[in-house]
Amino acid sequence: MSGTSEVAFEITPTVLLKAYACGIFPMAESAEDAQLHWIEPHRRGVLPLAEFHLPRRLHRTIRQGGFEVRVDHDFNAVIDGCAEPATGRRKTWINDEIRRLYGDLFKAGHCHTVEVWRGEEIIGGLYGVRLGGAFFGESMFHRERDASKIALTYLVARLKAGGFTLLDTQFVTAHLGQFGVVEVTRRAYHAMLDAALEVEADFYSLEMPSSCDDCLQLVSQTS
């Protein structure tokens, strides 16, 4: 991890939002670790919304349907999914304090989920924090192939519809790289963040349920 320091005081939702506005976010070493640490990467992962790349196979999967996308429907189900072991991730950084903090942010309307359901079973999703015209992606999961990718695509559509200017992915991974995530310097990130915080964006501009046609049309727009 880069740019870490131990948190020596209780973090409240207000403190957490101020931290995001300064470009830092908390993480724990593991689910068993009671401490949180402030993270500010030297280089930041950012997904330029206008340059979002939708892989062809994922386009077909979304077009075929057979799933339902819900927004802010079941925060606990999403964070439970994000905390599950997964391929390449034997343990989670989501501890009880993370659950409490982001649960409080969810109740306050600053944390959002995008969820993919098949019938009454959640098969994938993501959650993140909204502040001004910035969305800070925290974590995603899938229990069926492509479910987290569907959630990300619908998130991008929603952010574009709502006038957001920054999608912060924190880090660059091979999974995110296929969608056009780029790595920027800390200085460049702060310039993007400062500009985004001045924007009045609307996370609910895109009505629910939104069709796959609406989603695909929005993510394909370049301006």
Asked whether residue 48 is domain-assigned, the answer is yes
Dihedral sign (CA 167, 125, 129, 190): negative
Amino acid in position 141: F
The per-residue pLDDT for 10 is: 74
Report the amino acid identity of residue 85. P
Looking up tokens 């790349």, which residue turns up?
A: 53
Whether 4 is in a domain gets the answer no
pLDDT at 7: 46
Whether residue 32 lies inside any domain: the answer is: no
Supply the pLDDT for residue 109. 96
The pLDDT of residue 175 is 86
Can you tell me the mean pLDDT for 125-151?
Answer: 97
Q: What pLDDT score does 29 carry?
A: 82
- Please report the pLDDT score of residue 5 as a whole number: 46
Predicted confidence at residue 88, as pLDDT, reads 59
Domain count within the chain: 1
pLDDT by residue (tens digit) across 32-62? 777 888 999 999 999 999 999 999 999 999 9
216 within a domain of the structure (yes/no): yes
Among the listed ranges 29-33, 62-66, 204-208, 209-213, which one has the minimum average pLDDT value? Answer: 29-33
**What per-residue confidence (pLDDT) applies to 89?**
57
Q: CATH number for the domain including 209?
A: 3.40.630.70
Phi first, then psi: what are they for 145, rounded to 5°? -55, 135
Residue at 200 is within a domain = yes
User: Domain range holding 199?
Assistant: 43-220
Residue 108 lies in a domain: yes
Which residues does 84 contact at the CB level (< 8 Å), separation at least 6?
92, 141
* 77-127 pLDDT tens trace: 999 999 998 765 556 789 999 999 999 999 999 999 999 999 999 999 999
Nearest to 103, CA basis, from 19, 204, 1, 11: 11
Separation CA 83–CA 77 (nearest Å) = 10
Helix segments in 11-139, DSSP class H: 13-21, 56-64, 75-83, 96-108
Secondary structure of residue 6 in the 3-state scheme: strand
Q: Would 98 be classed as within a structural domain?
A: yes
Q: Let me know if residue 70 belongs to a domain.
A: yes
Instruction: Kindly state the tokens that stand for 143.
Output: 């229990």
For 24-28, 44-48, 70-74, 86-90, which range has the lowest pLDDT when averaged over its residues?
Answer: 86-90
pLDDT at 16 over 90: yes
pLDDT digits (tens, 9 = 90+) for 147-201: 999 999 999 999 999 999 999 999 998 889 999 999 999 999 999 999 999 999 9
